[in-house]
Structure 1
């Protein structure tokens, strides 16, 4: 069966979308109905040590204003908080709240369960081969957190 060149990126995007939609359905079931797909990139970019709005925007590939609006939303729904930088009282640091950490921890477990389901459906060897092939064809670091800016959204 021959495929057109445009089908490969669409199928890869559809696989990503399928996994992310299933993740968010399960996150909502587990008590996180307000979290949106893009927030995962944002929470990862905030990281365990926190960051500033300027640094967050740079990491995500968006403006400081766009990052600030997203931080406002994450604060409002309880996933992030602004605190004063202990080294410089003029700076605000954005940190992940315990609720945000809970969402990230649950996400990791849900992704493991989704991968296990794909392995059961496709076979572990085929899934490992797919993962290996994707590693071969993509850059070494899978943590591209600038996807929000690349998509032009946030």
Structure 2
């Protein structure tokens, strides 16, 4: 009889670790003035990037419909995280860009993730955490951040 955990536990534990980190991130973001940000929004901010994008391209990057992307942009615009501007190259198109509030949220998120990683290092030990990260890099694709996860999960 094997003492190994059943195979289904591995993805559940990996997802649970992700969920713990994301829940802790959002609790801290709320304390730091961003109570309306949701996990999906981080993917949106990353997909928009520094240069901005259109709602249609945003949908493609996230793996969701143009309509779903448009609704998400509307909501984040109302919250002050995004703005729409005329595309200087094509007046018929609108470009979605992060506002100062959106950029502040991204910067805070990066700092908070560093703090959360440090907490995990305290619990697991720095060497064990580095080994865990190295092992995960060995069994996952080189591209560390897939923006299409919202669409893969079923999207908004």
Q: TM-score, normalised by structure 2?
A: 0.98
Q: Alpha carbon RMSD of aligned pairs, Å?
A: 0.6
Match of 2:139 in 1: 137
Structure 1 segments unaligned to the other structure (5+ residues)? none
Distance 2:95 2:145 in 1: 22
- 1:1-154 pair list within 5 angstroms: 1-154=3-156
Question: How many residues are matched?
Answer: 154
Distance in 1 between the 2:80 and 2:38 partners?
13
Structure 2 residues not aligned, in runs of 5+: none
Partner Cα separation in structure 2 for residue 124 and residue 151 of structure 1: 32
- List 4+ stretches of structure 1 deviating above 4 A: none
C-alpha contact 2:63 2:155 (8 A) present in aligned 1: no
Mapped to 2, the partners of 1:136 and 1:107 lie a distance apart of 26
Aligned-partner SS, 2:95: strand
Residue 153 of structure 1 and its aligned partner are, at CA, apart by 2.1
Deviations 1:75-104 (A, max 9, x none): 010100110001111110000000000000
